[in-house]
Chains A and B, each alone.
Chain A
Amino acid sequence: MYRGIILKQQLKTCANKWFASQAAAAVQESSSPKLSELKNGLKVVTANQGAYGARITLLVKTGSKDDAAPGLTHCIQATSGLTNNKNTAFLTTQLLSALGAEMEVIAGRENIMYTVGCNPNVVKDILVDVLYPVVLGAKFPWWEVRDVVSLMKYQKAIAETDPCYLLMESAHKASFSNSFGSPLLCPDYMMGQHTTEMLVSRHNSTFNLKNMVLAGTGISQDVLIDAGLGLENLSTGKEAEQTTAPKFVSSEVHVEKPSDLVHAALTFPGASLNNKNAVALSVLQHAMGSISSIKRSSGMNHGVVNAAVESATNAVFNTSTFSLNYADTGLFGVHVVAQKNDFAKVMETTAAQCSKIASSGLSDTAIEAAKQRLKAKICMSTENSSQTVEDIAVQAATIGTVATPSKIM
């Protein structure tokens, strides 16, 4: 009862606060990213400060590559927002709704990102009352960990309907020998096997401020620094140790599914994010052909691979090149999709084309066009604050600086 009264008061104030300084929203400032490191070890980075809606990301440098028990990261993601040292799951949800905010948790191979979209005026409340407790104070009580299994199963079932997800998982499994290739989503045999102890120990060892980045768009650097300063490093862990870079191995993984279309990825070692070749590889990606930017295009003009395969085969197919940059490794590859009868021929031609490019290079015009496409892609991604906030958070976390679009060019 007592709790109930407090909650109601708190929610009411939240709801009223929203309009208090509606007119004082930040004016369009320079959108160049600003980065500072606080005394408590937290890195704070902002960009696009004039954007109307605010997006705040708290990034933790840990992911499925650190999973001692496969699927642990998935479990951390699925339990996010449940009971923590300050709020119950109920209060967390109610507070977010009262402040008109939404929270999203994205867990990847190297990072877990907690992103909140909200009005700029309530950023500090969100951080102090909701986001910090969610990230730093998670408790993982056993009954909640038990209940979350059905959600994990559902998420996995949904993800597996996407052939691209399956393909990328297999590509990582085939390309990396160590835990870097471990699955993003919990494998079936580990469902329900994660315990509170496992989660708490992982949380204690990796969720500390030195391992985190607070990134924001639509909010000024000062406000974010102010909100970050109040944090104490509760965790006993240290900054993540430098692990040895995952090694690329040549191998193959096949997943059989009944379908008319066959998807395959042909992968090569890529470049890490701070490797100077990363940009060059991205140019190569766009020269070979990534995704067409014209609706219903013929697909022949955004790279050289499609056109070459088209002239050699009579099949219905598509290829698209990808280049993934991680902290200390990367993965470059070609995604090929074709009908099953034509597949062998399409794949052979694509592989032949790749080795031809490797030996004899590309024409200057192809590279010029690819540079143009890459530049446009980078500039256009800065328009979008949900993309930007992820980008700056990852860059600050992995290379410690944030590159401006002009610098990359």
Chain B
Amino acid sequence: MASSAVSRLSNALRRCTIQPSRNIFPRRMQSNQAAVKVNTPETRVTQLANGLRVASEDSGISTCTVGLWIDAGSRYETNENNGTAHFLEHMAFKGTANRSQLDLELEVENMGAHLNAYTSREQTVYYAKAFSKDLPRAVEILSDIIQNSTLGEAEIERERGVILREMEEIEQNQQEVVFDYLHSTAYQGTSLGLTILGPSENIKKINRDDLVKYIKQHYNPSRMVLAAAGGVEHDKLVNLAKEFFGTTVSNDSYEATPLKLAPCTFTGSDLRHRNDHMPYVHVAMAVEGVGWEHPDTIPLMVANQIIGSWDRSSTNGAHFPNPLVRRMAREGLCVSFQSFNTLYTDTGLWGIYFVSDNENIYDCTIRVQDEWMRLCTELTDLEVSRATNTLLTNMALMLDGTTPICEDIGRQMLCYGRRIPWPEMARRIAYINVNDVKKVLGKYVWDACPAVASIGPTEALPDYSNIRAKMYKVFH
């Protein structure tokens, strides 16, 4: 076993933000930014004969990011093979028919390139970042990884251990745990309720055949997007795609893709893991929102922005325009809270994650629900215009560099089938007014059954019936 104790050197700078900290969800559970860049070259899209979509944006600079976005993730799994998508991601850079793991690493490192991969509930991503002149090699390496991975028995055994250790690590991260709980209760009985890593029984038994079968079933050109951003000529990229991916035939007949269409029903419910030895309670509370393509996503995102997010390290909390931030900062009821909107193909989770202690968790929950109800009934114009401004700035600042842009292209191609040009997105956000936000909140939040997941000393958390009863208000 080589050096696995990796750690990053901090550059010995310290930071404090005046803005409540932005979304810090790890990639695999976060999917709530949708934005494009303004005045950048247009995104060109070409579809190859075998169904592979090639999308790129050429900014003419000397570096680029190129990657494969695949319509596959833990949602496409069953109880029996849950964890396979993530297992495959682990096997990605472990050698192919043409290169051993060490050859691959040496080649990539000596090019100065980066290789990365991640798995979410609905998408699997492999990407490379390199000099623009090395684009052909980067595409060739990606195609080699996807199509010719050795999946050697020895490597599988080693990664099995790594994944089991990774699970132990994730169990220490209460935020991840509570979001897994939230999915498992909100989408109980469906594949969206599965975790990305899978249960340890599955990890212990997944073998080479399972992986090969999964690749055959899901890594089809018709379900992939080759996306690129930076110094990338579209025509050149299309030729490279034809050369390295063009010969693969789509295997869609193989069990077709019925899973994709299987709806994942949302169930308002409650899941508590009481552990009085923990110092804090972590709670995630959400109602069913909408999927990527639904027009109501944007008003819901604006509503998120109005609720905001806060943690104890941010200064000036008590002066924030967001009433919930102000209240929490003044009353010291929680350690942090964060409003989220997680989107999937045909459903979504709109809610809030907060951390508090046993003494304050009751009041904290009440305050959060008060704020939800206030939004449904007493929202003001000023709040909405402020929130749209902030949303637009955040989206623009997030598209910083070729990698975020490439991620944006890949994700949008999978979610929308096209890339939404910035002016369109900006207009859609700008035209949101207070009535739109009130309307969607009335539709999805008011009197809706929330899903609640919690871990820690949960004794004082209100009962589900009480939480449910606070999802509306009686006016006299």
Contacts and interface: CB of A to CB of B under 8 A. Distances in A.
Interface of A: 11-12, 15-16, 18-19, 22-23, 25-28, 31, 50-53, 55, 74, 77-78, 80-82, 89-90, 92-94, 96-109, 117-119, 148, 151, 154-155, 158-159, 162-165, 167-169, 172, 184-185, 261, 263, 291-302, 306, 309-310, 316-320, 322, 324, 335, 337-339, 368-369, 372-377, 379-380, 382-386, 405
A77 B116 contact: no
A280 B11 CA distance: 20
Contacts of A185: 14
B96 interface: no
| 8 nearest CB pairs, A to B | A376-B112, A100-B389, A102-B19, A53-B396, A383-B401, A53-B397, A293-B114, A93-B319
A106 B12 contact: no
B386 A320 contact: no
B340 to A, nearest CB: 18
A80 B162 CA distance: 44
14 contacts: A25-B39, A28-B39, A28-B40, A78-B315, A90-B319, A100-B393, A117-B397, A291-B8, A294-B114, A300-B105, A301-B106, A309-B3, A335-B7, A384-B400
Given A27-B39, A77-B14, A184-B14, A298 B105 contact: yes
B430 interface: yes
A52 B396 contact: yes
B59 interface: yes
Contact of A104 (B16, B61, B390): B16
Nearest to B316: A93
B401 A52 contact: no
Contacts of A18: 389, 392
B170 to A, nearest CB: 15
Interface in B435-467: none
Contacts of A82: 315-316
A118 B393 contact: yes
A154 B312 contact: yes
A107 B14 CA distance: 6
Contact of A52 (B7, B102, B399): B399
Contacts of A384: 400-401
B12 A324 contact: yes
Contacts of A297: 93, 105, 115
Given A25-B38, A338-B5, A106 B13 contact: yes
Given A92-B316, A103-B19, A105-B15, 10 more contacts: A27-B39, A28-B40, A89-B316, A92-B319, A101-B393, A117-B397, A296-B90, A296-B162, A298-B3, A299-B4
B279 to A, nearest CB: 13
A97 B20 CA distance: 11
B385 interface: yes
Contacts of A316: 1, 3-5
A94 B319 contact: yes
Contact of A294 (B40, B93, B382): B93
Contacts of A99: 389
Nearest to A172: B12
A377 B3 contact: no
Given A105-B18, A164-B8, A184-B14, A81 B109 contact: no
Contacts of B117: 295
Contact of B392 (A100, A292, A335, A338): A100
A214 to B, nearest CB: 19
B93 A295 contact: yes
